């Protein structure tokens, strides 16, 4: 039996040393030390030996098992190290190679215009407020002096969720919401509200069913039309340059009285007259006016004490004018070739 144990040890050590991978090594381990392995089978025969020989054979069997166990562990470590080295060699990176160019994104051109407008008005002491895009009809129309039977509603047909909830047609509802909550004992209300608006328009080069507006309002004592014109001039000069003049033309909006359309000098001809401005030398850019007393009354503000002006800016139209884009749909087609021009 001692000879058999020595033979098991020698053969086992040779097999362990020659094992090419961990799977083979595990199979050798089971063959040698498992429940049905060579060592276990041999140890079962000790009971048949004379009593005097049992301790000698048992001690030798333990030594052989310990030697094989140590050899298995050493070989396992060697195989793991070799596998890791092989993986590292296969996955090595040449850090001296140039890296891949990862392009940086940039704000959409419409968002850039909105950001510029916000910066201009924040510099003039305005706060920036945002309102719900899904709006109550009460705030969208009635609080803006547009009762249910008002014909001007036909110009702002939109998408209704229910009979009283709709996708807002303008950012003007924020006028009413701001007026309702503002505490005039702390000072005047000066705010702008940028956002998306929705109208059931047929998309064409100058119209879209979804576009952007920036609503602005100032309410205080002794506000005049001169304050409105000065504000609009400051904004347009900051956006387009000092060489562009601003003029106001009488117009009509239900929520302002008097109402005006604001024009700036045609960028294409510099005011000389061209096909772009239809020979007038001016291009219409926004609507504005003095806030209608009814709008103030419905928001709980005394029109005998307070007054002010409001205006609505179209960032999409400003972007078209500033960059010479002749089709508003180009802004929304996700054409990177087009959009990266404005980076």
Task: Give the annotated binding-site residues for Mg(2+).
Answer: 257
For 281: left if phi > 0, alpha if psi spans -120 to 50, otherwise beta; the answer is left
* Binding-site annotation: residue ranges: 257
Residue with tokens 């793991």: 80
Whether a cis peptide bond, with omega within 30° of 0, leads into 93 is: no
Helix (H, G, I), strand (E, B) or coil at 313: strand
DSSP string, 130-177: ---SEEEHHHHTGGGT--TT-GGGGGG---BSSSSEEE-SSSTHHHHH
Nearest partner of 196 among 129, 286, 133, 112, judged by Cα: 133
Taking the C-alpha atoms of residue 137 and residue 301, their distance in angstroms, rounded to an integer, is: 21
DSSP H helical ranges for the chain: 2-18, 22-33, 38-44, 54-90, 109-123, 137-140, 173-181, 225-240, 293-298, 315-323, 336-339
């Amino acid at each position: 039996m001692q000879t058999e144990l020595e033979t098991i040890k020698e053969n086992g050590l040779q097999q362990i040393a020659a094992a090419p991978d961990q799977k083979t090594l595990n199979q050798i381990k089971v063959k040698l030390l498992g429940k049905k392995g060579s060592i276990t089978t041999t140890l079962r025969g000790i009971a048949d030996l004379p009593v005097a020989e049992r301790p000698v054979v048992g001690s030798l069997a333990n030594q052989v098992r310990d030697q094989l166990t140590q050899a298995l562990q050493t070989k396992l470590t060697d195989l793991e190290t070799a596998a890791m080295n092989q993986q590292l060699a296969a996955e090595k990176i040449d850090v001296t190679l140039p890296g891949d160019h990862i392009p940086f994104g940039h704000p959409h051109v419409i968002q850039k215009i909105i950001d510029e407008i916000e910066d201009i008005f924040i510099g003039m002491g305005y706060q920036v407020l945002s309102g719900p895009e899904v709006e109550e009809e009460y705030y969208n129309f009635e609080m803006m002096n547009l009762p249910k039977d008002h014909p001007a509603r036909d110009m702002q047909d939109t998408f209704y969720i229910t009979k009283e909830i709709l996708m807002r047609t303008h950012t003007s509802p924020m006028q009413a919401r701001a007026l309702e909550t503002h505490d005039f004992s702390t000072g005047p209300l000066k705010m702008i509200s940028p956002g998306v608006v929705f109208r059931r328009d047929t998309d064409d080069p100058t119209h879209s069913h979804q576009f952007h507006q920036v609503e602005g309002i100032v309410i205080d004592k002794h506000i005049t039309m001169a304050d409105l014109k000065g504000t609009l001039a400051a904004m347009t000069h900051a956006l387009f340059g000092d060489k562009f003049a601003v003029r106001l033309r009488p117009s009509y909006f239900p929520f302002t009285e008097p109402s005006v359309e604001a024009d700036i000098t045609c960028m294409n001809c510099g005011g000389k007259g061209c096909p772009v401005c239809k020979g007038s030398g001016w291009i219409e850019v926004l609507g504005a006016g003095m806030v209608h007393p009814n709008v103030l009354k419905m928001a709980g503000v005394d029109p005998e004490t307070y007054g002010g002006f409001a205006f609505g800016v179209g960032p999409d139209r400003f972007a078209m004018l500033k960059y010479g884009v002749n089709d508003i749909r180009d802004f929304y087609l996700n054409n990177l070739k087009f959009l990266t021009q404005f980076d």
